[in-house]
Amino acid sequence: MKQLNGLLFALVAIIFASCESGVTEKITYKINEPVFMTKDEFRASVKVNTKAEEIVTLGKICFYEGYLYISEPQKGIHIIDNRNPSSPQNIGFIEVLGNADLSIRDNLLYADSFVDLVWFDVANPAAPKLEGRLNDIFPTALPIMTNNFGYDYFKTIETKGDGIVVGWSVVERTEDMKDYRGSWWGWGDGDNFVFGTMESLDMAANPTAKNTGVNGSMSRFSLYDNKLYVVLNNYMSIFDLSGSQPVKKGESMYIGWDVETIFNYEDNMFMGTPTGMIIFSVKDPLKPEYQSSITHAFGCDPVVVDNDLAYITVRSGNTCGQNTNELIIVNVENVKAPQYVVSYDMVSPKGLGIDANKLFVCDDGLKIFQITDNPRVLDKNMIKHVKGMDGFDLIPFNNTLMMIAEDGLYQYDYSNTADIRLLSKLSFAK
């Protein structure tokens, strides 16, 4: 926000100078202009490739019945045969333009594709089949921005016509101050696109439901009680998955926070936002009810919950705000009145997960803690700290830890607490 405030101050100064001198001042700035694709071309672009493609950019992960599905942001979904974690095999790729997230239930993989929701039959992971698409269900979804230049709102929103915005082109403009209309300013970290309101899909997963894939903590899809929850632009949409295809139920619900992650625990939904955690009850799956919130320093923050304790990582970074890096533990036994318990300094924590009384955290590599009855001594119960990689997210499942990092997929056997060992590394393209 300092950059934006500085810009506004400069504009005010120019305006006053112009008024005093009578001379029209000019302003030069860079801005993202939209790159369009026709809707027909966009929707014809989905392609299932039984030949594997190298993974270049890490993204969200989902584990389902021995296979790991890795989203490559904006590009599509890689399929990894992980039935033998010591020797994972990259076996295929689903090309889905504009993809950011995915969830799997009953052999159906649901994914976003910019403005659309698409789903695939993955009963045979080696040969997925496109089953359907809901068109224009996320009408304001936009591509990732990786710079601080903002975008041309008029060209992007007001005049897009029948096209889909699939990218950005940076241009430099010089305008008279009297003609300067400005833009919506934002920034991106390869995953978020924030400019006052959230413009990228942000959903999560339910790791406990039968026949449901297990998502990482960074996920933005949430599956609960045959429902798919979607948060976009501070609104939550709910889709009923009980029929032959997803059906949106009712109007989108205003949430009011820039939700980054969602985690379901029992019949509550825990949402991580840049300023804290919020809790909704889903006892009535079609009418989520706000319970409470707890604030923390401004920062990016996935959350997981186990045994009535919420574990939240807060990190600094491109879009995350201040220089706060910590693990926060909150007692959520009473979801209407969560209680702060303790926090621990971290280096730059990201995804995290819990299984078999072990807490796994992507921080300065990988940190593994033994959970005891006293969360205030968690820091004294570190089992292992593995350095040498920049972990992003992870899934602990059935004594196998799957961790996605900048340079590859790392897998560990944690069946023996005293000897957590590396099983394999599937390297990504450089």
- The answer on pLDDT for 33 being more than 80 is yes
Q: Which amino acid is at 374?
A: N
In this prediction, residue 25 carries a pLDDT of: 80
Judge whether 139 lies within some domain. Answer: yes
Contacts of 294 (CB under 8 A, 6+ apart): 276, 277, 330, 338, 340
In this prediction, residue 21 carries a pLDDT of: 52
Residue-wise pLDDT for 265-282, tens only, equals 999 999 888 778 899 999
Contact 410, 422 (CB under 8 A): yes
Where does 234-317 show beta strands of DSSP type E?
A: 235-240, 247-248, 253-254, 261-265, 268-273, 276-281, 289-295, 303-306, 309-314
What would the DSSP string read from start to end of 177-242?
Answer: GGG----B--EE-SS-EESSSB-S-B--B-SSSTTBPEEPTT--EEEETTEEEEEETTEEEEEE-S
Determine the structural domain holding residue 223 and report its residue range. 26-259
In this prediction, residue 6 carries a pLDDT of: 40
Judge whether 182 lies within some domain. Answer: yes
Cα dihedral 352, 405, 349, 59 sign: negative
Roughly how many angstroms between the first and final C-alpha of the chain, as a whole number? 33
Domain count along the chain:
1
Q: What proportion of the chain, given as a percentage, has pLDDT over 70? A: 83
In order of 39, 95, 153, 180, 403, the CA distances from 34 in angstroms are 15, 21, 9, 19, 34
Judge whether 190 lies within some domain. Answer: yes
50-54, 171-175, 313-317, range with the lowest pLDDT: 313-317
Q: Give the burial class of 126: count Cβ atoms within 10 A of its Cβ; 0-12 exposed, 13-18 middle, 19 or more buried.
A: exposed
Q: Would you place residue 320 in the very low, low, confident or very high pLDDT band (cuts 50, 70, 90)?
A: low
* 76-81 and 67-72 strand pairing: antiparallel
Q: Would you place residue 38 in the very low, low, confident or very high pLDDT band (cuts 50, 70, 90)?
A: very high
5-9, 30-34, 43-47, 315-319, range with the lowest pLDDT: 5-9
Could you tell me the two tokens for 83? 């039935």
- The answer on pLDDT for 202 being more than 90 is no
Please, how many CA atoms are within 13 Å of residue 280, restricted to the half-sphere of its CB? 24
Residue-wise pLDDT for 111-162, tens only, equals 999 999 999 999 999 999 999 999 998 877 888 888 888 888 888 877 766 7
Give 151's strand partners. Answer: 32, 184
Could you tell me the two tokens for 329? 């533990």
Judge whether 308 lies within some domain. Answer: no
Judge whether 315 lies within some domain. Answer: no
* 289-295 and 129-134 strand pairing: unpaired
- The answer on pLDDT for 13 being more than 70 is no
- pTM across the whole model: 0.85
Residue of 207, 181, 210, 185 lying closest to 196 (CA atoms): 185
Q: How many residues does the chain have?
A: 430
Contacts of 353 (CB under 8 A, 6+ apart): 216, 217, 304, 359, 360, 394, 395, 396, 401
Residue of 67, 173, 107 lying closest to 397 (CA atoms): 67
Judge whether 8 lies within some domain. Answer: no
Q: What proportion of the chain, given as a percentage, has pLDDT over 90? A: 60
Please state, rounded to an integer, the average pLDDT across all residues of the chain. 84
Judge whether 380 lies within some domain. Answer: no
- The answer on pLDDT for 247 being more than 70 is yes
Judge whether 114 lies within some domain. Answer: yes
